[in-house]
Chains A and B, each alone.
Chain A
Amino acid sequence: MAEVDIKKLNVWFKDNHVLKDLSFTIKENAVTAIMGPSGCGKTTFIRAIDRMNEIISGSRTTGEIYIDGINIYDENTNVYELRRKVGMVFQKPNPFPKSIFENVAFGPKIHKIANGKEIDKIVEKSLKEAALWEEVKDRLNDSAFSLSGGQQQRLCIARALAVEPEIVLMDEPCSALDPAATAKIEALIRELGEKYTVIIVTHNLQQAARVSDFTAFLYVGKLVEYGDTKNLFENPKSELTEKYITGEFG
């Protein structure tokens, strides 16, 4: 559906040069993991794909990112359309303080994708895609906060899927969850990878190995290595990558 082509991406926060000349291409319809030690710019990187860094004052971005052949940083780009096409799931589940139904319906309503009965259908479809439907179908009007942490995160995924994105970004989606919830979400991620281009940030090496088809290793804002996950973990090309994988630093 959508290939993400990154060309010479640089991001600064005030004087801090966070991402340095990143260039690589993320394959469509696959799960790509972005890994690296804390502070290497993983979060900044995926936020650059839906231009969420712009919200932070003092941020500056140069370079290009092509999605479906169009540079999203071009001044004519409709950033709201972009953000619809590129969904995001955050580290800490952040459902709106509204009902489960209203959370999922929020996106479609805002973008006027559907009305009335149509919205009901979309909500059901999205909740099913996020493997949450069975658990909430009888209590759609309950507050989102009545759900457990893992359920809330799946709700956030459903919310993102409801606007029919092509790319789904996930910033350490399981770091705030217990192992059982994590397992459920990891299974979900693998499923989503067949239909969407999923890019997931993780600092958990094993998770990257379990879940992703491709992996990019970032270190202090630079891309060190990128490739097929199995190959990268078994035969890393760079010494730095090898050191990270074997746990010499983290």
Chain B
Amino acid sequence: MTSRIKEKVFFTILGIPMVACLLVFFWIVFVLSSGIGTLSWNILTTSVLKGGIFEMIIGTIYLLLGAAGIAGPIGILAAVYLVEYAPSGKLTRTIDQAINNLAGVPSIVIGLFGLTFFCKQLGLGISLGAGWLTLTLMILPIVIRGTEEAIKLVPTSFKEAALALGTTKWKAISSMTIPSAAPGIITSVVLGMARVAGETAAILFTSCVLVTRGLPTTPLDPVMALAYNLFVKIVALGEPPEKVFGIALVLFFIVIFFATAAIVLRIYYRRRQPWLR
């Protein structure tokens, strides 16, 4: 009997690091929410030129949507290839490894690449478009992996039934597999957006400036972003963190919103798809 009790005590102690994780999370939420007083609907909707942060919010959203819009299709198609078409061999393994490596590149290095390739080489300068392309590189591995997983979960019998009726492989996949995998795909895109919403290093030299006159009208215009602004204000301009609390809070909300959306979507779709587990 005492061995059972000893085990229970041991496992309770083993659980302390996990509890620490939870405590850290709640502490962060608590600490950030103390700054909620600095926010008001007014600040969110007023232009930066008049003391608000409107363009920062919209700029962040522009960057998000554009990057997801580019990385989404490419990532989905790439994943379809890898799961459904790729022959097992050296080339496929290399592509697989390249995706893993891409996922592990530090964001500052991606930012440097963006600067020298998109901004300089392709002549985009510091622009929304350069930001899109740079952030695409960060979302891409997330979308590819997520889509791969989603496709693998779809029972092959769906596709086989379509093929047995005489359709081409691509038609079977596009009409059966991809729609069935859609929930997982959407979830991974949302996860990707959560990833880049708060991204600073990648947009540091590629797309953002501190203040713009109004919103960008073309992809060649520079853009304002919450993360960039927060960063420059604290680090370069030395503003006391208390003054920029509002920006940090809005950014936090946006990121948590997307991250939570991804989790909720995953749970919701798992219920609606009876063939999962």
Contacts and interface: CB of A to CB of B under 8 A. Distances in A.
Q: Do chains A and B touch in the complex (CB under 8 A)?
A: yes
Interface of A: 76, 78, 80
Chain A facing B: main interface SS: loop
A216 B27 CA distance: 60
4 contacts: A76-B1, A78-B1, A78-B3, A80-B3
A76 B1 CA distance: 7
B5 to A, nearest CB: 12
A78 B1 CA distance: 7
A76 B3 CA distance: 12
Interface in B1-58: 1, 3
A181 B265 CA distance: 50
Interface in B167-210: none
B180 to A, nearest CB: 28
A80 B1 CA distance: 10
Contacts of A76: 1
A78 B3 CA distance: 9
A57 B1 CA distance: 22
A114 B3 CA distance: 19
Nearest to A80: B3
Contacts of A80: 3
Contacts of B1: 76, 78
Contacts of A78: 1, 3
A171 B150 CA distance: 36
A78 B5 CA distance: 12
A80 B6 CA distance: 14
A76 to B, nearest CB: 7
A78 B7 CA distance: 13
Nearest to B7: A80
A233 B173 CA distance: 54
4 smallest beta-carbon distances between A and B, as pairs? A76-B1, A80-B3, A78-B1, A78-B3
A76 B2 CA distance: 11
B182 to A, nearest CB: 31
Contacts of B3: 78, 80
B11 to A, nearest CB: 15
Nearest to A79: B4
A113 to B, nearest CB: 16
A18 B137 CA distance: 53
Nearest to A76: B1
A48 B3 CA distance: 22
A245 to B, nearest CB: 37
B228 to A, nearest CB: 48
A237 to B, nearest CB: 44
A76 B5 CA distance: 12
A32 B1 CA distance: 32
A245 B1 CA distance: 46
Nearest to A75: B1
B6 to A, nearest CB: 12
A78 B2 CA distance: 10
A22 B197 CA distance: 61
B139 to A, nearest CB: 37
